[in-house]
Amino acid sequence: MANNRYEKWVAELTEDERDQVTVLNAYFDTRSNTPGESEITGKHLAPEYKTTQDIIDELMPMMAVSPGIVSKYLLLQGYTMSTYDDGTIKWAIWRDIDMAGQID
């Protein structure tokens, strides 16, 4: 099923912003917005809770990515947030650890 809001948002971005989305697509290629099992290995996906800044910091060696682009990307891709005991929130991400390093 196509995500029309996501497609419309991407179409309205500048070239630089679309480049940021390309980097985000690669980063999230082995991650999911829901817990489950790897489609390839059948193993459980590992929880990986990150702030927007955590994601930006990890991507910085590849490209500077703006917080607004990261947040909007995650929201439109169906990612949700988890609240911690101290009241802070992080994105709820599940990662296919066995597929790390496998970029198409």
At 101, the pLDDT band (50, 70, 90 cuts) reads low
Q: For a pLDDT cut of 70, what percent of the chain falls above it?
A: 92
Residue 102 has pLDDT above 60, yes or no: no
Residue 103 has pLDDT above 60, yes or no: no
Residue 79 has pLDDT above 70, yes or no: yes
Residue 43 has pLDDT above 50, yes or no: yes
Mean pLDDT (whole number) for 56-68: 97
Distance from the Cα of residue 34 to its chain's centroid = 11
Q: Where are the beta strands (DSSP E) in the chain?
A: 31-32, 46-50, 80-83, 89-95
Evaluate whether 37 touches 99 at the Cβ level (below 8 Å): no
Q: Supply the pLDDT for residue 104.
A: 47
Q: Which of 38-42, 65-69, 78-82, 89-93 has the lowest mean pLDDT?
A: 38-42
